[in-house]
A = this chain, B = another copy of it.
Amino acid sequence: MSKRLPGRALPRWSRRKDARPDEITAAALALFVERGYAATRLEDIAARAGISKGTLYLYFANKEEIFKAVVREGLVSPLAEMRELAERYAGSSMELLRMLVEGWWARIGSTPLSGLPKLMIAEARNFPELARFYVDEVVEPGQRTIARIVERGIARGEFRRVEPQGAALLIAAPMLLVMLWRNSLACCARSSADIDPRTLIEAHLEWVRRSLEP
């Protein structure tokens, strides 16, 4: 028969209702990216979110659900915006690619969300269902969006004839790799080896231009 102790409730003024789950997933994203899923203790997530261990369970059924929420919620709005942007654009296809790459960097690459790809790559095998979701909702739509721009460019005579799927991957690869790098090995590299994303983007876009020009 155990004696149970207190439960000092924190003042809640000045907290928007339901900001809580977002604060938790933000904390969880940071820690999962930093340490990986298994090495992240729920207690640490709670501490970083400014709440207690038990409070997590008011919002998420268990650690796995927190993980899923981190992945799912991180992607809903940014992705939609990117796709819309691509579909509405009227200018040249190369300009569109530039906008996409730069928008991607601004909205994801330079934010904590840039940690998601690393997270999914690390845990895909342990969360196949979630990996499937990620592939279906992020990877393939993203690839298709780029591939469509390539097709558009070819159709308009702006690009030479290339296989759009492969081109999409070649276009995305450097950006993705930088995101992975910055969320993993970057901190251990000498500063001299560090990559300046702005410079890289410029160089990359020039490569793309040359590779696609008719």
Interface residues of A (CB under 8 A from B): 1-2, 13-14, 17, 34-39, 64, 118, 120-126, 128, 131-132, 134-135, 139-140, 143, 162-163, 165-167, 169-170, 172-174, 176-178, 180, 184-185, 187-190, 193, 195, 199-200, 203-204, 206-207, 210-211
Contacts and interface: CB of A to CB of B under 8 A. Distances in A.
A167 B203 CA distance: 8
In the complex, the count of this chain's copies comes to 4
6 contacts: A1-B14, A121-B122, A121-B184, A121-B185, A140-B189, A165-B195
A34 B121 CA distance: 11
B128 A118 contact: no
- Chain A at the B interface: mostly helix, strand, loop or mixed? helix
A188 B178 CA distance: 23
A5 to B, nearest CB: 11
A185 B126 contact: no
